[in-house]
Structure 1
Amino acid sequence: MNFDRSDDLSISDFSKKAYLLRTIKNNFLTYGYREVETPTFESYDLYQSITGTVKHDSMIKIIDPTGKILVMRPDVTVPITKMQVTTPPSLAAERLFYIENVFRLAGDQQGKKEWTQAGVENYGPSSTETDAEVISLAVQVLRNLGFKSIQIQVGLASFFRPLLDVVSLTDSEIKELQSLIRAKNISELELFLSKRDVPEELQYLLIQIPYLYGDFTAVTKRAKELLISDSMVEQIQKLEDLHKILKLYDVDRFVSLDLGLINHMDYYSGIIFQGYVENVGKPVLMGGRYDQLASQIGSDLPAIGFACESDVLLEALDQGNLFKPDAAHIDVLITYDTVRQKEAIQSAEALRKGGLRVIVTAKTDEVKSFDEITTIHYTANDQVVTQNGECRQFNDVSKLVNLLTRNKGEM
């Protein structure tokens, strides 16, 4: 099933996407995040003034009637950070989430220009505790969507930067080096370094970085043998502290360490991470800490966040057969014989007031029945409820309504 283009989605596809985003949103809410929205159109100058974000040539630009260049929102982190910087402290909130479309050209997917992202931005203290909580939230989102095989790969955006401080490489060479490390292309990495004026000891250290992935404890132990600066020692200690807290959240089994992980967004300054699930070879969510981003907008504001890629998650859910049946858009189906129409409608209204999704319809041979939802039928002389495959009569309508609304979360 193709979820790439919103205008191609069927009614069933829209239901699946709504289920996905509703589940993600509910998880964000349980961690105390508040929803915000950002403008679809942003000033191109905003993105020109900030380094390390979306590539300028991938942005979709327009010119408004005044001649000002605008871009369709290419990411959400930058405008939310701008919003946070310009909001008076008394009105600002530390925990924000969004469900927004982003627009940009993707070279690897011809014609695709629009994605739906759901993500969080946490502007609380820059601490290991905050990092661990955000990673825990990422795990819980994937678990509550029904995935069993989950892996969150954690890295450090600045881990190997101290190594670059002692060599002379151009910006383009640094990008090439990052690409080779990210791809774990050891042979090309060795060739690249051999052609540059890089000391042999430093070449060895750089070549070891792609190997530093896997079990958290094993990788940190191996990394300690390669450290050449106090800052690198400090970073490894923070990773060990992070792992301890992840154990308290009982999500450490889902988390691995990859010190060769390098994100395409250069504004990340600390922890970075990517989430993977079964049957999908690309990340379903990505995030990290970006404490320096706000400083480019005029404020000192620590932050960490992540974004879920809805299209990729939809494909993963579909492949894993993790969607609920199409009937899941309702909780209760009420059918009636003509003489009992009044009671059927009154029951439906009472259930709706309790937050249940109800369809009420006259009983005909064409009415569908669903084993997975509660069904109530009013006959001329009786009333019957069917739930979880069990059929029984009931006499007290108010008690039935109270029971069904009380059990709403189980339906």
Structure 2
Amino acid sequence: MALNQPLPQGVTDLYAQEYELKQTIIDRLKQLYHHYGCQPIQTPTFEYYDLFMNIPGTMNDDQMIKLIDTDGKVLVLRPDATVPIARMASQAKSDMPLLNKMYYVTNIFRMESGESDRTSRSFSQVGVEWFDDGRELNDIEMVILAVDTLKQIEVSDIQLELGQAGFFRALMDEAQLDAETEALIQAKLEAKNEYELSDLLESLQVSDEVKQALLRLPHLFGEANHVLKDAKSVAINDQMAKALDQLTGLVEHLTELGYADYISIDLGLVNHLNYYTGVMFQGYVEGYGKPVIQGGRYDQLMTYFNLESSAIGFGVYIDDLLRIVKQQQTLQLEEPNQAVILTNHTTTKEAFSLAQSLRQNQIVTSIAYEDDVVDESSIIIDIVSKTVNINGDKQPFETIDQVLTKVGITYGTD
């Protein structure tokens, strides 16, 4: 009985060319992060459920994929990369410097709502985390690295939206609302649903000043200088003004460094991962409706692990980037040099010896029987009749060295 079993929802298979393209994207990013001084790390696939539930605002319970360990404790498949890395840093703090830049390549497992999305339950992520001293210089470098990430993949029409978690947090402090109400406001802001936000605010006991500021937030997005100027009238306390000054200074530095064309502002950017404390950013590619990069500064998270360190980082959604690269056809895989050796039972030794020599010269080599049907676009080396067929030109040979010479000339090698 044939097992024609469909895949579970939210996961996908990758075949040769698509998988190679995905690995090319990952390899390019690893090279970029290495040049920025980041060191590779890896965290386990499994973490304790309590790791995420003991940190408010990190992950919704119903998004986590759970299982029971042999000792009865609840485990989860890794639903987020940042929290496990913070846990890892706290446990290894005696062995690693806190001022440390790291990058990771990992799979994330979540129960997302999009059942039709082939990566809604398992997706690949590459990212950078930097445990630092909270300097403005580091914010600048991390934002630039996020932009350079998309440039490294050669996708066109990229944009990085900058927000400021401290700006929104200070406004919420002014409103003095409970966590559940704040979450509702946050959801309306993320959706830029001004109508429902207005209805919600009318039902709350908050000042008109706070209401008007919240209703302005969905409109505070677009060209950096214009938005920053308009936002000054929304800053109703000193903390909001300070956060806005920090964001203004960051934009000024990025402009000086030639990154102005890649930067815009969205002060309605209030990511659901509430551990962000300062600059936040999301990377977009025009024509693709989802962010392909998300990150920011998350200084408060480290206090849960007794680490006296600030932190900033971002994650890159590789599966989304793969779709964009395929749409834009920006990365072309190099066609490998290929050869097929035709043999029979009397020339097997010679065929395998020749195959090893060709492979050592970076030529993809297969061995087939002389009566097999083979790809005519490959170089066909008939070791039985001692002929080499290169693009329809059949030439005789006597020794393996002669074969290597003919093949080498074809591919421009010595």
Deviation at 1:189, TM superposition (A): 2.1
State the TM-score, normalizing by the size of structure 1: 0.82
Are 2:34 and 1:26 aligned? no
- Alignment check: 8 A CA contact 1:279 1:319 kept: no
- Alignment check: 8 A CA contact 1:337 1:380 kept: no
Separation of aligned partners in 1, 2:289 and 2:83: 27
- Alignment check: 8 A CA contact 1:129 1:245 kept: no
- Give me the identity figure in percent: 32
- Inter-CA distance 274–393: structure 2 relative to 1 (3 Å threshold): closer
Are 2:252 and 1:244 aligned? yes
Deviates more, 1:220-229 or 1:120-129: 220-229
Matches within 5 A, 1:272-351: 272-325=280-333, 328=334, 331-333=336-338, 346=357, 348-349=359-360, 351=361
Are 2:76 and 1:71 aligned? yes
Are 2:22 and 1:17 aligned? yes
Separation of aligned partners in 2, 1:393 and 1:235: 58
Letter in 1 for 2:39: R
Partner of 1:191: 199
Deviation at 1:113, TM superposition (A): 2.0
Partner of 2:113: 107
Letter in 2 for 1:217: N
Partner deviation per Cα, 1:70-95 (whole Å, 9 max, x = no partner) = 11111111111111112134534601
Deviation at 1:216, TM superposition (A): 1.1
Matches within 5 A, 1:128-139: 128-139=136-147
Partner of 1:50: 55
Letter in 2 for 1:174: E
Partner of 1:201: 209
- Alignment check: 8 A CA contact 1:97 1:118 kept: yes
- Alignment check: 8 A CA contact 2:168 2:270 kept: no
Deviation at 1:161, TM superposition (A): 2.4
Partner deviation per Cα, 1:35-77 (whole Å, 9 max, x = no partner) = 1111111111212211111111211111111111111111111
- Alignment check: 8 A CA contact 1:337 1:379 kept: no
- Which of the residues 90, 93, 117 maps onto 1:88? 93
The structure with the largest alpha-carbon Rg is: 2
Q: How many residues align?
A: 378
Letter in 2 for 1:100: T
Partner deviation per Cα, 1:6-55 (whole Å, 9 max, x = no partner) = 55222222222212222222221121111111111111121221111111
Partner deviation per Cα, 1:277-328 (whole Å, 9 max, x = no partner) = 1321011111111001010122222111111112211111122223414xx2
- Alignment check: 8 A CA contact 1:275 1:285 kept: yes
Partner deviation per Cα, 1:97-156 (whole Å, 9 max, x = no partner) = 111111121123368421111111011221221112111111111112121100111101
Deviates more, 1:335-344 or 1:105-114: 335-344
Secondary structure (helix, strand or coil) at the match of 1:74 reads coil
- Inter-CA distance 194–385: structure 2 relative to 1 (3 Å threshold): same
Separation of aligned partners in 1, 2:314 and 2:237: 29
Separation of aligned partners in 2, 1:161 and 1:268: 10
Separation of aligned partners in 2, 1:89 and 1:246: 35
Separation of aligned partners in 1, 2:313 and 2:410: 50
Are 2:184 and 1:176 aligned? yes
Separation of aligned partners in 2, 1:240 and 1:14: 41
Partner deviation per Cα, 1:193-234 (whole Å, 9 max, x = no partner) = 222222223322221111111111111111123322222222
Separation of aligned partners in 2, 1:348 and 1:39: 35
Separation of aligned partners in 2, 1:368 and 1:89: 60
- Alignment check: 8 A CA contact 1:84 1:92 kept: no
State the TM-score, normalizing by the size of structure 2: 0.81
Secondary structure (helix, strand or coil) at the match of 1:204 reads helix
Partner of 2:382: none
Letter in 1 for 2:34: L
- Inter-CA distance 346–9: structure 2 relative to 1 (3 Å threshold): closer
- Alignment check: 8 A CA contact 2:293 2:315 kept: yes
Deviation at 1:392, TM superposition (A): 7.4
- Inter-CA distance 257–285: structure 2 relative to 1 (3 Å threshold): same
- Which of the residues 103, 109, 112 maps onto 1:97? 103
Secondary structure (helix, strand or coil) at the match of 2:294 reads strand
